[in-house]
Amino acid sequence: MTFINQARAVVDQAELYATRRRVIQVRFAEGALDLVAHRDTSACALRVIADGKLGASFAEAPSKRLLDDARETAAFGQPAQFSFAPEQTYEAPPPFDPATGELTAGDLIDVAVDVRDRIASAAPDAVVSLVCEAESGRRSVETTGGAAADEPFSRVTLGVRVPFASRGTGVGATARWFSPGPAVVADAWLDGLLERRDWGQAASVPESGRWPVLLMPYASSLLTLTLATCLSSDSVAKGASPLAAELGERILSERLTIREDPAHQESPYARSFDDEGVAVRPRTIIDRGTLTGFLTDLRGAAELGQAPTGNAARRTMFSEKIEDAPTPGWLGAIIEPGEPSWRTLLGEIEEGILVTRMSGLHSSNLLQGQYAVHVDGFHVRGGKPIGHLERTMLAGNVFEDFVTLRGISCECEPTARKEMEVAGLAPYMLLDSAQVTVG
């Protein structure tokens, strides 16, 4: 008898989420191999509805204790306002390369050495740090309602950091490359990394004030993470979101269209179902600046009286973890590209900044769309980066700063956040002006 059938015999409903993961990593520090790591782990999360109440438990594998623990917690739980996912069909599974599961540490060392040596030949003075990782496994969700989702995943990841000469090894140009399986890292990707390293050889900052801000694709999370808080069914249902009554209204620049497509085949974290076993479907959330939908999990959908959108994820703002209760969020936000190239947008900036990444967003009042973050990037003058930023904060409100968006590039790049196991696609976005404060 399967575990879910055992559960069916003693509770009203049950949902079993399980993962199996094999990870091999190699790390190079200052050009030399520093660490080889293996991780072979499994984990599962059980949610039950017993006597109408919700409970949960977690362990490394299904067991009678797992079921008993979940039943015990349900005795103190809240009456469940929703049911676990019913039987449904799942569309295209994510790209999967079985060769990834066969990779050895030696194979990954070869990839890292190749990249290290190519960088060294182009920039002999560069001190390179790399992490190369092969990850493969399966994730599944099975419910007593008939949902039975099961898919493999595979990723090869290469993270590279090339420091700016003036700032030690910790501050420099960084990039992360993904592939479903073994592949050769493209020259263009390395060229972009080295170009950013060249821009940052000296430090330079603008005066504090309002300046044009060009966000690189990875920095687009300034918009998407802030929006996620406001689009979450939890904050919408309770009226805490400023977007609760804005469906059909224009809230951002008409230049902005944001789709949610978790199964997008270019995403390294593509998936055909969310963490509650609900099939994902491509949807438009912002259509030329107009709000067209929210992000819901099963609970939030029930509260809003809507069908679930398949946006449940077991994670916090910082990390994916199976113990985290499912909450709604982006699983594959895709910001549609515009027309000009990013170099054209850069060339339009007489004085301003180019932002590569930010930190401290979680300290902001995201429920109101506000942000105040420390930013890394470059000071731009006369359309050219002239040095890397130091001691620079960027602050504002997305519902003001992204209304007057000056331009969106035609190029899109993956915006994967490894720690949250989520990825999207984003272009470069040029804000007309935002508050830049330099300490």
Partner 1 sequence: MKEKLRAALEGLDVDYADIRFDEECKTQITLNTGRVESIATFSPRGGHVRAYAKGAKAIASFSRIEDARRVAEETAAAARAAAVHAGQAIGLADAPVVEEDFVVSTPSDPRAVSLGEKTDLLRHYDGIATAIPDVLMTQFMYDDSYAHRVFANTDGTLVSYEHLISNILGILVGRRGDAVRRAYFAVGGSANYGRLRDREELLRQSLTDLEELLSARPAAAGIHPIVLDPFGAGIFIHEAFGHTSEADMTRREPMLRERLVLGTEIASPILHVSDDPTILDRGGTYPIDDEGVIGRRVSLIREGLVAGRMHSRETAAAFGESVTGHCRASDAGYEPVIRMSNTVIESGENTLDEMIASIDDGYYIAGGAGGQGGIDFTFGARWARRIQGGKLGEMVSDANLSGNLFTTLKGISMVGGDQQLFEYCDCGKGSFDGVQMTTRICAGAPHIKIDAVTVGGVSG
Query: Are 256 and 402 a contacting pair, CB within 8 Å?
Result: yes
Residue 319 found at the interface with partner 1 (CB under 8 A): yes
**Sequence-distant (≥ 6) Cβ neighbours of residue 148 within 8 angstroms:** 87, 140, 141, 142, 277
Residue 372 found at the interface with partner 1 (CB under 8 A): yes
Residue 238 found at the interface with partner 1 (CB under 8 A): yes
Beta strands in 51-84 (DSSP E): 53-59
Q: How do the residues of the chain divide into helix, strand and coil, expressed in percent and rounded to 5? A: 25, 40, 35
Three-state DSSP class for 217?
helix
Taking CB under 8 A as the binding criterion, the range among 212-220, 268-276, 365-373, 406-414 that sits at the site for partner 1 is 365-373
One of 7, 18, 85, 131 touching partner 1 (CB under 8 A): 131
Provide the minimum distance between the beta carbon of 365 and partner 1 in the complex, in angstroms, as a whole number. Answer: 5
Residue 359 found at the interface with partner 1 (CB under 8 A): yes
Of 326 and 332, which has the nearer Cβ to partner 1?
Answer: 326
3 CB neighbour count, 10 Å cutoff: 19
CA distance 55 to 65: 14
Q: Binding string, 54-93, against partner 1, x = CB under 8 A? A: xxxxxxxx---xx--xx-xxxxxxx---------------
What are residue 61's phi and psi, to 5 degrees? -155, 155
Which whole-number Å values give the CA distances from 45 to 6, 143, 322, in the listed order? 15, 12, 7
One of 390, 406, 410, 432 touching partner 1 (CB under 8 A): 390
Residue 34 found at the interface with partner 1 (CB under 8 A): yes
CA distance 223 to 219: 8
Query: Are 62 and 46 a contacting pair, CB within 8 Å?
Result: yes
Residue 292 found at the interface with partner 1 (CB under 8 A): no
Residue 360 found at the interface with partner 1 (CB under 8 A): yes
Total chain residues near partner 1 (CB under 8 A): 89
Taking CB under 8 A as the binding criterion, the range among 173-181, 185-193, 346-354, 391-399 that sits at the site for partner 1 is 391-399
**Sequence-distant (≥ 6) Cβ neighbours of residue 345 within 8 angstroms:** 214, 406, 407, 409, 428, 430
Give kind and range of the element (H or E) at residue 224: helix 221-231
258 - beta bridge partners? Answer: 286, 335
One of 6, 8, 36, 250 touching partner 1 (CB under 8 A): 36
Of 124 and 439, which has the nearer Cβ to partner 1?
Answer: 439
Taking CB under 8 A as the binding criterion, the range among 142-150, 183-191, 231-239, 277-285 that sits at the site for partner 1 is 231-239
Strands 32-50 and 53-59, bridge-based pairing:
antiparallel
CA 338 to chain CA centroid, Å, is 22
| C-alpha torsion sign, points 331, 335, 336, 342 | negative
Residue 32 found at the interface with partner 1 (CB under 8 A): yes
Of 40 and 198, which has the nearer Cβ to partner 1?
Answer: 40
Three-state DSSP class for 295?
strand
Of 79 and 305, which has the nearer Cβ to partner 1?
Answer: 79
Provide the minimum distance between the beta carbon of 213 and partner 1 in the complex, in angstroms, as a whole number. Answer: 13
One of 152, 242, 337, 347 touching partner 1 (CB under 8 A): 242
Which whole-number Å values give the CA distances from 292 to 154, 237, 251, 305, in the listed order? 33, 16, 10, 16
Provide the minimum distance between the beta carbon of 245 and partner 1 in the complex, in angstroms, as a whole number. Answer: 12
Residue 202 found at the interface with partner 1 (CB under 8 A): no
One of 418, 422, 428, 430 touching partner 1 (CB under 8 A): 418
Provide the minimum distance between the beta carbon of 374 and partner 1 in the complex, in angstroms, as a whole number. Answer: 4
Residue 391 found at the interface with partner 1 (CB under 8 A): yes
Residue 33 found at the interface with partner 1 (CB under 8 A): yes
Residue 281 found at the interface with partner 1 (CB under 8 A): no
Beta strands in 246-328 (DSSP E): 258-260, 283-287, 290-291, 312-313, 327-328
- Residues of span 91-120 touching partner 1 by CB under 8 A: 105-106, 109, 113
Q: Binding string, 163-182, against partner 1, x = CB under 8 A? A: ----xxxxx-----------
Residue 407: both structure tokens together? 């331009």
One of 203, 205, 325, 386 touching partner 1 (CB under 8 A): 325
Of the candidates 360, 359, 335, the residue with the CA atom closest to the CA atom of residue 430: 335
Provide the minimum distance between the beta carbon of 281 and partner 1 in the complex, in angstroms, as a whole number. Answer: 26
Provide the minimum distance between the beta carbon of 133 and partner 1 in the complex, in angstroms, as a whole number. Answer: 9
- Residues of span 37-56 touching partner 1 by CB under 8 A: 37-43, 54-56
Query: Are 383 and 342 a contacting pair, CB within 8 Å?
Result: no
